Amino acid sequence: MWNAERSDRTHASDQECALSSLFGFTDWDVDDRPQVVIWEATRACALACRHCRASARPRPGPDELTAVEGEKLVAQVAAAKPQTFVMTGGDPLERPDLWHLMRLARTLGLRPALAPSATPRLTQEAVRQAAAAGCTGIQLSIDGADAKEHDGMRGHPGTFARTLEACGWVREAGLALTVATTVTRHNVERMAEMCALVERLGVARWSVFFLVPTGRARAQDMVPPAVAEAVLIWLHSIAPSVPFAIKTTEAPQIRRLALASGRPAPGRHGIGDGRGFAFVSATGDICPSGFLPLPAGNVRSDDLLATYRHHPLFRSLRDPDALRGERCGVCPHRAWCGGSRSRAYAVSGDPLGDDPLCLYEPQPAARGESAC
């Protein structure tokens, strides 16, 4: 299904907003502060998803941030003034002080969002509590076009049905609904069906994530580069015509398509791991991404914003000329693409190496020809 013929469908559109979301371009000063901060509120989760980044388990870990440390973390995030603060897990609904911390986040000027797991804890009452606590949006995962496919990936029967029901609760509560889909070898042939499904669900945004082999996710579950390229071209082609925004995650190669289509405007750059993005683990580690588990500090002893701004790891991830892979290191698109740093690290052990998902073969002479 996925082949190069799909490129014929690439076409221009006036929906700059949707395309910017798709490409992850931003005018945000990513050297100054993160645009998105994600907090893994706990690693506890009742599900056992095949591709879980967090390798979540049924009970919280012994060294997770306490209630008081959670309050201090929220205050640190508020000081960083990100555009979005996402409380994820594990399953954040496993955290007993979740609503208190969400209210605190809202009081301190943040726009908290929630990424819960579809377990029996996810009820209509829980969604109402989220709205009452100041939540601005909820992200739910759908990784299969039907119950058999989705529940197989999630490790629990009934998860698909619960997720569809919860989508209705989120809409009824007036919260922005995002559906996240992880693209793997197992579901890639049914992406068009999943697109139709998320449209029927009335989502505000479809977040399409390209697997990074971290946690329980395995490298053999990644789609081959040519298939990934075809999916990205397809997403590019449908973005102008679907009634929701599409966002890709860990697939910045799509920004090559932005260049080809002439939008967004030159001078804008993309966000990525450590570049406009910071992650705080359940134990307080400050990482460039949940898929790049290299701690640059810990909120118990280090300041989140100072670590983001000044730590050599974060700084190198924001420097396109620090890339040292044979392809990304010489690529003319490295300033606004740069490849998935998480996938480079997961596969090679070098966060500044090549992203194995990319099909592009830059010419070696291109190092001095950065696109920005």
Q: Where on the chain is the footprint of ligand SF4 (CB under 6 A)?
A: 253, 256, 327-328, 331, 333-334, 337-339, 355, 358, 360, 362
Pick 33 or 334: Cβ nearer ligand SF4? 334
Q: How far is CA 242 from CA 114, 231, 239, 269, 349, in A?
A: 24, 16, 6, 24, 38
CA dihedral 239, 217, 53, 324 (to 10 degrees): -80
Q: Are 365 and 354 in contact (CB under 8 A)?
A: no
In angstroms, the CA 73 to CA 101 distance is 10
Pick 222 or 331: Cβ nearer ligand SF4? 331
Those residues whose C-beta lies under 8 Å from the C-beta of residue 259, and which sit 6 or more positions away, are 333, 336, 371
The DSSP annotation for 230-289 comes to: HHHHHHHHHTTTSSSEEEEES-TTHHHHHHHHT-S-BTBEE-BTTBSEEEE-TT-EEESB
Pick 184 or 253: Cβ nearer ligand SF4? 253
Q: Which two tokens stand for residue 302?
A: 């280090």
In angstroms, the CA 365 to CA 368 distance is 7
Pick 43 or 333: Cβ nearer ligand SF4? 333
Q: Closest separation between CB of residue 253 and ligand SF4, Å?
A: 5
Q: Closest separation between CB of residue 255 and ligand SF4, Å?
A: 7
Q: Closest separation between CB of residue 331 and ligand SF4, Å?
A: 3
Q: Closest separation between CB of residue 214 and ligand SF4, Å?
A: 18
Pick 253 or 307: Cβ nearer ligand SF4? 253
Pick 73 or 331: Cβ nearer ligand SF4? 331
Q: Are 167 and 207 in contact (CB under 8 A)?
A: no
Q: Closest separation between CB of residue 95 and ligand SF4, Å?
A: 36
Q: Closest separation between CB of residue 327 and ligand SF4, Å?
A: 4
